[in-house]
């Protein structure tokens, strides 16, 4: 019950607007550290254990949320400002900045991401397959 409350109340507030974050290794380390400290207090386990094997993986939840959001943006009409901004940010898919929204789609071209996002079931499978 405590973990579910932590995930729904604390983590939802903590991850507000996480879609716009650059998930660099330093940011990932801070997220994992925050999650580890909170889980240490909730579960009473050693903080090293909660860092390496968390009961609730906040970083994974953030990555899934960002990938779901990317699917929504890729399915938008081509003239929508948010979609055009994303394309301008990544310069048409040629450059993928470190920690960008497209980090979990590495190895895919922008056209492949668009095609995958159109099929909602396969996109959901891709999101759920993150580890």
String of DSSP letters for 37-79: HHHHHHH---HHHHHHS-SS-HHHHHHHHHHHHHHHHHHS-TT
> What is the tens place of the pLDDT at every residue in 35-56?
999 999 999 999 889 989 999 9
Query: In which residue are the tokens 């409350």 written?
Result: 5
> What is the tens place of the pLDDT at every residue in 86-96?
888 777 556 67
* pLDDT band at residue 9 using 50, 70 and 90 as cut-offs: very high
Cα-based torsion angle of the residue sequence 26, 48, 129, 15 in order, rounded to the nearest 10 degrees = -50
Contact 15, 65 (CB under 8 A): yes
> What is the tens place of the pLDDT at every residue in 90-118?
775 566 778 888 888 877 888 888 999 99
Give mean pLDDT, residues 68-91. 90
């Amino acid at each position: 019950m405590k973990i579910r409350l932590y995930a729904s109340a604390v983590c939802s507030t903590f991850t507000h607007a996480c879609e716009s974050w650059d998930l660099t290794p330093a940011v990932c380390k801070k997220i994992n550290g925050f999650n580890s400290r909170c889980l240490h207090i909730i579960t009473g386990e050693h903080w090293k254990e909660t860092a390496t094997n968390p009961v609730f993986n906040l970083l994974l939840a953030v990555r899934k949320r960002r990938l779901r959001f990317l699917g929504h943006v890729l399915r938008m009409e081509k003239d929508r400002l948010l979609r055009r901004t994303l394309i301008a940010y990544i310069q048409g898919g040629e450059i993928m900045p470190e920690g960008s929204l497209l980090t979990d789609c590495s190895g895919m071209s922008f056209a492949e991401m668009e095609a995958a996002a159109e099929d909602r079931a396969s996109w959901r499978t891709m999101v759920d397959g993150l580890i």
